[in-house]
Amino acid sequence: MKILIVLTSHDELGNTGGKTGFWLEELAAPYYRFREAGAQLVLASPKGGQPPLDPKSNEPDFQTDQTRRFETDPEATEALANTVRLDSVAAGDFDAVFYPGGHGPLWDLAEDTVSIRLIETTLHSGKPVGVVCHAPGVLRHTVYEDGTPLVLGRRVTGFANSEEEAVQLTDVVPFLVEDELTRLGGLYSKAGDWQPYVVQDGLLVTGQNPASSAPAADALIALVDKGGV
């Protein structure tokens, strides 16, 4: 099993002067789920090299056993420091693709033509894609071969409007994940704020928030083990 993990390269939190990036738990928890399932992992980002970490995700209140494990794991931190450029990988080389969230992807990966093509190619070839928290936003421009949105008529979830409001970034982000998935015709649903919630529809796995990252990884592994659907 070979899984591609795609991380953001964007570190500016809109015009606030603050920093953003990927959310550590949403990388760390799936990373170890995948490794424990025997997967070979490749980490990629649009610019390659060290992706920006959302500094809030490493504050004590948001640290978990898995984030602490990741930060003290030389192999994991080396892989993170040396992500390959996203435009250097081929969808055909992987059994699945997974996108951790954090606010960063809303600015770069959601608009990145290489990322869009990667998702489309992976799904069209019968392989699963997993996206968690803000990462479902990377689906906004993905389409079927006839041009209709990939999320149209699909059951999906992602970071809820109420969760965005709770972190006081509703007016900062370029778009709201819940609103965008709904606008595109996705059948959006959610659990309570910060509760784990994963939706699988065919080959697409979506998770609502950081707490959903490990179960989303488990769902992706199960799809790979079944050879898709």
Q: What is the pLDDT of residues 148-172, one digit of tens each?
A: 999 999 999 999 999 999 999 999 9
Whether the pLDDT of residue 226 is over 90: the answer is no
Query: Per the confidence metrics, is the pTM higher than 0.95?
Result: yes
Long-range contacts of 164-168 (CB under 8 A, 24+ apart): 166/193
pLDDT digits (tens, 9 = 90+) for 60-80: 999 999 999 999 999 999 999
Residue 228 has pLDDT above 70, yes or no: no
Amino acid at 74: P
Whether the pLDDT of residue 25 is over 80: the answer is yes
Q: Are 216 and 30 in contact (CB under 8 A)?
A: yes
Q: How confident is residue 227, by pLDDT bands cut at 50, 70 and 90? A: confident
Please report the domains of the chain, with CATH numbers, ordered by start residue: 2-225 (3.40.50.880)
Q: What is the DSSP letter of 176?
A: -
DSSP E strands in the chain: the ranges are: 2-6, 40-45, 84-85, 96-99, 129-132, 155-156, 187-188, 198-201, 204-207
Residue 229 pLDDT grade (very low, low, confident, very high; cuts 50, 70, 90): very low
Region 195-207 average pLDDT: 98
Contact 111, 139 (CB under 8 A): no
Average pLDDT over all residues of the chain: 96
DSSP, residue by residue, 42-89: EEEESS-BSPPBPGGGGSGGG--HHHHHHHT-HHHHHHHHTBEEGGG-
- pLDDT per residue as tens digits for the range 82-112: 999 999 999 999 999 999 999 999 999 999 9
* Mean pLDDT (whole number) for 200-217: 98
Give pLDDT tens digits for 37-47: 999 999 999 99
